[in-house]
Amino acid sequence: MRFALSLLAALAMATGSAVAADTGFYVGASVGQGSYDISKGEIDEFTEEVIELAVEEEIGYIADWHNASSKLDDSDTVYSFFVGYRFIPYLAAEVAWLELGEAAYKSSGELYIFDPMDKWLLLGEAEPKLTWSGSGAALSALGIWPVSEQWELFGRVGVLFADTELKFAIDGEKIGSESESSTEFVWGLGVDFIFLDNFAARLEYQMIPDLGDKNTTGEADVDLITLGLIYRF
């Protein structure tokens, strides 16, 4: 990603001197890939604790979960829709709706219980699944460098009013869920390529640190790399 931005920046500076860009409203949409910075080892431990506690509360016996295998898919498709207003060539504000996709964890193993006869007995096999997802409205300010008639570089800072959800299921049956609303910091770097006077293509990297709540849904950094299309009125 750093190489791509460096290359685009070099191309931008090679196209000529900067000229004043139009001001006013614009709309756009983007799609790309998001990734959650989640530790599979920590989820393995969390899953073991949840299953053992649930069984012990349900039947009153000590439980032991043997996790045979697990898999974490921490990436998903993300997309956004946004409306912006450019006050001057170097400053704009945007309101956006972000869908951050989900991270999914699956495992399989065997569950044992310690019965009154002082023996460990196999209760059965199980396949637990956890999913994290996030979405919300964002408000951002963009500092813009109009390098030339076609190329612009920008930096973003803003806030995301996020809704984060954690779901837990075993063998396809929902066991429980946690949801949390929070206000998160957002920053990003990107480049716009202007064409056909009113259109622009956008490549952007965004970062949302500590999405979620550590006491309910858990927290994770979310990285977004997106391509977008903008129409300027």
pTM over 0.85: no
Q: Where are the domains of the chain?
A: 2-38+73-104+128-232
R_g of the chain, CA atoms, integer Å = 23
Indicate the helix (H) or strand (E) that contains 46: helix 40-59
Q: Decide: 203 and 4 in contact? Cβ < 8 Å.
A: yes
Locus of tokens 């614009």: 26
Which CATH number is correct for 2-38+73-104+128-232, 3.40.30.10, 1.10.10.10, 2.40.160.20, 3.90.550.10?
2.40.160.20
* Residue 104 to residue 137: CA distance in whole angstroms: 23
Per-residue pLDDT of the chain (233 residues; tens, 9 = 90+): 444 444 444 444 443 334 445 799 999 999 999 999 998 888 888 888 877 887 777 777 787 878 778 899 999 999 999 999 999 999 999 999 999 999 999 988 888 888 777 778 777 788 889 999 999 999 999 999 999 999 999 999 999 999 999 998 888 787 788 999 999 999 999 999 999 989 999 999 999 999 999 888 889 999 999 999 999 99
Judge whether 141 and 74 are in contact, CB under 8 Å.
Answer: no
Residue 172 CA to residue 127 CA, distance in Å, equals: 8
